[in-house]
Amino acid sequence: MALTAITLLCFAALLPFPGLGGHDDHSGEHMGILTDIPVKVTVTNKFANTKISYPDTVVTAGTPMFGVLNKLKDNSSFNFTYTINKSFGIYLESVNGLAGSNENHTYWELLSKKGNSISRLNVGIGCYQPKKNENFIMNFTTWD
């Protein structure tokens, strides 16, 4: 029960609340008016040397990546699974049927590409809010 409450609080804290003042020109929200933004999702696999880019998913600015992935899942052949970790929230387990493995030291690395710059995310899909025209990359890789 406490885990559910924490997860809901994290999600609720990230929802945009129009009219509470202030705005971030980079978020797609301006003066309390919610706007839709396109987000690209790309799945790469270091070992199979594959790359799948999905058509832009249009979501409301401020939507967590978890919501973007659920919308993409509803509208394409994309699929993912997750668990809820008591300490860290929503944890991405598998993408398109491929799961990370402690035994093989593999996992899904979460990256953001904005322009020509790629950076590793420091939060998961439950808290990360992509920006307009961002390319969210899920890279199957190893930690060795």
What is the reported pTM? Answer: 0.76
User: Domain ranges in the chain?
Assistant: 2-142
Q: Are 28 and 35 in contact (CB under 8 A)?
A: yes
Q: Give 50's strand partners.
A: 45
What are 67-85's pLDDT values in tens digits?
A: 999 999 998 899 999 999 8
The predicted model gives 2-30 an average pLDDT of 42
Cβ neighbors of 76 (< 8 A, separation 6 or more) are 54, 55
Q: What percent of the chain has pLDDT over 90?
A: 68
CA-nearest of 37, 31, 91, 95 to 62 is 37
pLDDT band at 32 (very low <50, low <70, confident <90, very high): low
Sign of CA dihedral 38, 89, 15, 76: positive
Closest CA relative to residue 28, chosen from 75, 58, 60, 4: 60
Fold adopted by 2-142? Ferric Hydroxamate Uptake Protein; Chain A, domain 1 (2.170.130)
**Do 7 and 86 meet the contact criterion of CB atoms below 8 Å apart?**
no
| Alpha helical stretches, state H, the chain | 2-14, 65-75
What is the rounded distance in angstroms from the CA atom of residue 137 to the CA atom of residue 144?
Answer: 20
